[in-house]
Structure 1
Amino acid sequence: MPFKSSLPDVPIPTEPYGERVLNALWKHSIEMPQKPALIDVNDYNKVVTFGELYAQSLSVSAYLDKIRFGHGDVACTVMQNCFEFFPVFVGVSLNGGATSLCSCQYTEYEIERQFKDCGCSIVFCTDGALKKVLKAARNCPNVKMIVVAPQGQDARTDLPFGVVHIRDVFSCQPNLYKRKISIDVSRDILILPYSSGTTGVPKGVMISHRNFGTMMNVYTSHYDSHIFPKLGKDFQSKDDVVLNIAPLYHVAGLSGFNAAILEGASTVIFPHFEPHSFCKAIQDFKVRFLRIVPPLIVLLAKSPIVDNYDLSSVIAVGTGAAPTGKELCEDLVKRHPNIKYITQGYGMTEVTTACHVPYISDSDSKFGNSGQLCPNMEMMIVDPTTKQEVALGEKGEIWVRGPLVMMGYLNRPQATAETVDDNGWLHTGDIGYTDKEGFIYVVDRLKELIKVKGLQVPPAELEDLLLSHPMIKDAAVVGVPNEKDGEHPVAFVVRLGEALTEREVKDFVKERVAKYKQLSGGVHFINEVPKSPSGKILRRYLKDEAILLTKAVTKSKI
């Protein structure tokens, strides 16, 4: 029998998302006219109010009307985290369009590929990405207009011919008598993010108004009823201060950002992550609930930088994107005893951010879980080979079904069918298990499992073990092909200082795991573990690097 969420169901939205968020902005602007909705992390005096966001969103919608951008059209954003992003997103949605989220870190080739795939007619970008956008657009006849939002004091004012400045969009007179556009909340695309590409070519993930609106209902309901009461007797959602570190071109960053806006909380915008600014913002805004990716837990637990700041306001930490081991959680609490709760969620772009929400438990034994199944959702844990359900507590592939599951991949029916079956079950490709209380524990990616003599070695298990070493700052483990054993585990390690040796790392692991899990492929010391903006280890890159290094070592021995 499939698991059903034990959390109370939330309403399934029937109104277009743009209308909902516009109403929230209006409400907040009346009730809290001077409260900043957005704050620049580099200059706290630079703010945008809810009322200003409301007016800017209407101006974007009016400008799009002028250029005949409407229902079913696609706008692409290639923007770092900035004030201008949100009005663009809302304005596009008010016109019945979809926003395709493109990474600023993409090369011009990758940007061009997304422009062509999503079929966008207009591009909004920040000036740091403008050069790449212009080059990419040359080969994309579908792109009719480029709008740039210059950032910082040194932002350029001399724009190339044909490029529109965002201030011209924001100065467009709103049409207060505009007729509402007919939007099918279940079928019309609201956002079109692209999957991370760690398992193939990036694919456009079609997320509807219904998908995203339900996700917002899950967030706001769960936080209001379960998270915020733990932060203080009189703590309310509008008292929250959200540090917007995750990129807005990633669905997790966009979801957290929107939830804060709907709740009337202030959001501190981070154009780029910088450890000192991060710690200073926690100190200055007395952040109680910290939403971060696992690499930042490593920073808070091990970096000497944090000693320069007062982080005693933090009561709870919420994380996701990758599993966080019990040892790392314990290290964090040991260093910051004010942190009472560490919560993890679990999800992916294909489930509109999350299928499991962080759930606070007063038991330390719950460190390492990835939360409870979201309201309105179902889940099965199945044997990857037989596709049959496994017993409670046994490991298997996680399948989920419900209103958070994407509509599918854009223009890729075969890829959609391979991911979402005929019964609506999304096959996550993740291995995990549940306990009797309904907590999910994500062990590893199905395709990332290392096979040594036919035995499965989860990289995350070895990574958690390595991170428990006092001289290891960060680590990643991948498998390299081996003619005799199938694969051998290889560790990439970021060490604290130069004293730690490969032999010491190998011996540390050898004493703690079975023989087939030992680092038989070797240990390589690196300066930084490569990760995606959402915090996921770029294993494909490391695997290629490990294969090259293994070949080099083999050749030198001949």
Structure 2
Amino acid sequence: MVVFKSPFKPVQIANEPFGDFVLAKLWQHAVEHPEKKAIVSAEDENNFVTYADLYIQSLSVASFLHQRHFGHGDIACLVLPNCYQWTPIFLGCSLQGGAASGASVVFTDYELERQFIDSKSKIVFCAESSLDRVLKAAKNCPLINTIVIVETDPKHPTKEYLFGIHKFADVIKTPPMRGVPAKDIDINRDILLLPYSSGTTGSPKGVMISHKNFGTMLNIVFAHLHDYVEQVFKGTYVMHKETDILLLPFYHIYGFGVLMNTLCSGKTAVLLTHFDPDVFFRSIEKFKVRMLMLVPPILVALAKHPIAQKYNLSSLEMCLSGAAPAGKDLIDEVQRKHPSVKIIVQGYGMTECSMASHLPDYKDFKIGSCGKIGSLGEMKILDVESGKELGVNERGEVLLRSPTIMMGYLGRPQATAETIDDDGWLHTGDIGYINNDGDLFIVERLKELIKVKGLQVPPAELEDLLLSHPQIRDAAVIGIPDEAAGEVPKAYVVRATEELTERQVQEYVKERVAHYKQLKGGVEFIAEIPKSPAGKILRRLLRDRNAAATTTSKL
């Protein structure tokens, strides 16, 4: 058996409920640095919370949830932008033995309803901007008994709402309470997080991440950063004195992981609700940020955005990129424009492994690689056709095994069995190889997922939507290259009537899905969708068709 093991030293597997672990860290930082800002708004420095604030508010949320009969095994859906309230809400759910399921604030009521029903959410925390869509979606979700409005902009206080809708400002006035006893939480089987992922194919599915899964993941990342990042900075990187910029969405496992790592490290988090280049670059300059955890589109902004040249970004020394590949040309351009950035490295992971499976070797990082498999992890490379285990420098599907691998997909045993085999190996759907030094290189995807600025867009979801149009007989969606977004969706459509226009198709989709799922790659009408004898869409032929058309248009 050819199994590749992690070269990094083993970390402790999580052995306590994750909420208790984080709560203890918040208390520790509050005691050691009582005036320290834990989270501060990038737009308004006077809008901040301390570690003591987060500690007390987490207990108050737990107490409120207890009063609303939210307890062991229950799910709360968080339809929120990046905001400090994410932390006490998440911890309140965890301390009550429940789980948090994040959703994008740009989701339509159709998308929200689907997640509410699938997750069996009982409580929804949402921003004011999402309330109308949440209420519309909740009409068909009888399990939802409470909606909490989170005021994310203190300059615009929430107006009065109907009975049954609560304000977060009132929630945190609830006398703080511990929640369910820690001994009643099964860290191996109880769900901590329920992010939604499309997996290797299909529509979004709830990924059941346990306390042990994510707690161990944080231990791995925490140890890696301490052991390697501090070496890079030659002992000058003191965690509680540093500042992180949080701009990746918290409902995404990567963004949530960065949030938890920042707070558990005792740093100050500068929060962006969305990516605003001016605010982003100004924050790097003002807070003298030394390290960024980001995605390739942010690297593109560092390399190409003209506003970047207005600011002094010389404090920035390292970038850790994930969620999608970053090419050598892009990395070279960032370092050419910003010479202080000595290190740009990449990792690899997926929601199903609780964030990152591979982490960079900072002393010997090879551009184009995803680094080496993280602590406690194992990896195999399988031949796609034969299933044979492959050795170094041989391309095949990447399989992972680790204590961080999800428990499975909520309510989908078949999809779980198709993703995790009987021996506990997670089939990633990615094609890659490992070199002689143990570095992983991803070369292509078996899976059909489209990545738009690191966000997942499952073709099957858009295809189902397109097929609901009465004037569409058949449809297929692929991702096509886009310099700014990495990929954007393009639809190939077989019309039922000649009257249907490209614009009508795009508008139909636009009204029903989030902005990043829209058909920004265009719509092309064709006579027939290419399919295999088994009925599977031959996306490779569609990608070849698009590439040929693109090449022709450039001639």
Q: 1:388 aligns to what?
A: 388
Residue 127 of structure 1 and its aligned partner are, at CA, apart by: 1.1
Residue 181 of structure 1 and its aligned partner are, at CA, apart by: 5.3
Compare 430-439 and 227-236 and name the one that shifted more.
227-236
1:40-67 CA distances to partner (integer Å, 9 max, x unpaired)?
Answer: 0100121100001000000011111112
Whether the aligned pair in 2 keeps the contact of 1:379 and 1:398 (CA below 8 Å) is: yes
The RMSD of aligned alpha carbons is: 2.7
Q: How does 1:97-176 map to 2 (within 5 A)?
A: 97-152=98-153, 153-175=155-177
Pick the aligned partner of 1:237 from 227, 236, 239.
Answer: 239
1:80-118 CA distances to partner (integer Å, 9 max, x unpaired)?
Answer: 111111000001100100111112121101100111111
Aligned-partner SS, 2:121: coil
Residue 197 of structure 1 and its aligned partner are, at CA, apart by: 7.3
Whether the aligned pair in 2 keeps the contact of 1:231 and 1:289 (CA below 8 Å) is: no
1:212-237 CA distances to partner (integer Å, 9 max, x unpaired)?
Answer: 00011011100001013312433222
Whether the aligned pair in 2 keeps the contact of 1:490 and 1:546 (CA below 8 Å) is: no
Residue 391 of structure 1 and its aligned partner are, at CA, apart by: 2.7
Question: What residue ranges of structure 1 are gaps of 5+ in the alignment?
Answer: 450-458, 464-477, 479-486, 496-529, 531-535, 554-558
Partners of 2:360 and 2:97 lie apart in 1 by 32
Paired amino acid for 2:170: D
Q: 1:212 aligns to what?
A: 214
Identical counterparts, % of pairs: 43
Whether the aligned pair in 1 keeps the contact of 2:39 and 2:84 (CA below 8 Å) is: yes
**Is it true that 1:312 corresponds to 2:290 in the alignment?**
no
Q: TM-score w.r.t. structure 2 length? A: 0.81
Whether the aligned pair in 1 keeps the contact of 2:480 and 2:521 (CA below 8 Å) is: no
Pick the aligned partner of 1:329 from 328, 331, 340.
Answer: 331
Paired amino acid for 2:27: W
Partners of 1:155 and 1:382 lie apart in 2 by 56
1:341-368 CA distances to partner (integer Å, 9 max, x unpaired)?
Answer: 11101001000011111331356xx112
Residue 330 of structure 1 and its aligned partner are, at CA, apart by: 1.1
Partners of 1:413 and 1:423 lie apart in 2 by 16
1:389-445 CA distances to partner (integer Å, 9 max, x unpaired)?
Answer: 223112111100010110000000000011001111100001111111111111121
Partners of 2:307 and 2:522 lie apart in 1 by 33
Aligned-partner SS, 1:15: coil
Partners of 1:437 and 1:494 lie apart in 2 by 31
Partners of 1:493 and 1:50 lie apart in 2 by 41
Aligned-partner SS, 2:220: helix
Q: 2:400 aligns to what?
A: 400
Residue 155 of structure 1 and its aligned partner are, at CA, apart by: 4.0
Q: TM-score w.r.t. structure 1 length? A: 0.81
Q: 2:374 aligns to what?
A: 374
Whether the aligned pair in 1 keeps the contact of 2:240 and 2:265 (CA below 8 Å) is: yes
**Is it true that 1:291 corresponds to 2:293 in the alignment?**
yes
Q: 1:417 aligns to what?
A: 417
Whether the aligned pair in 2 keeps the contact of 1:71 and 1:181 (CA below 8 Å) is: no
Paired amino acid for 2:389: E
Q: 1:445 aligns to what?
A: 445
Residue 492 of structure 1 and its aligned partner are, at CA, apart by: 5.0
Paired amino acid for 2:23: L
Paired amino acid for 2:139: R
Q: 1:26 aligns to what?
A: 27
Paired amino acid for 1:190: L
Aligned-partner SS, 1:190: strand
Pick the aligned partner of 1:258 from 260, 269, 279.
Answer: 260
Paired amino acid for 2:107: Y
Cα separation, partners in 2 of 1:492 and 1:343, compared to 1, 3 Å: closer
Partners of 2:519 and 2:418 lie apart in 1 by 24
Q: 2:185 aligns to what?
A: 183
Paired amino acid for 1:216: L
1:483-525 CA distances to partner (integer Å, 9 max, x unpaired)?
Answer: xxxx9x9965559xxxxxxxxxxxxxxxxxxxxxxxxxxxxxx
Cα separation, partners in 2 of 1:308 and 1:52, compared to 1, 3 Å: same
Cα separation, partners in 2 of 1:178 and 1:409, compared to 1, 3 Å: closer
Cα separation, partners in 2 of 1:13 and 1:275, compared to 1, 3 Å: same
Residue 154 of structure 1 and its aligned partner are, at CA, apart by: 2.5
Pick the aligned partner of 2:523 from 534, 545, 558.
Answer: 545
**Is it true that 1:88 corresponds to 2:66 in the alignment?**
no
Cα separation, partners in 2 of 1:298 and 1:185, compared to 1, 3 Å: same
Residue 298 of structure 1 and its aligned partner are, at CA, apart by: 1.1
Partners of 2:6 and 2:341 lie apart in 1 by 27
Partners of 1:132 and 1:160 lie apart in 2 by 15
Tell me the matched-pair count. 477
Partners of 1:490 and 1:270 lie apart in 2 by 28
Whether the aligned pair in 2 keeps the contact of 1:127 and 1:155 (CA below 8 Å) is: no
Paired amino acid for 1:411: G
Partners of 2:202 and 2:385 lie apart in 1 by 22
Paired amino acid for 1:143: I
Residue 196 of structure 1 and its aligned partner are, at CA, apart by: 4.6
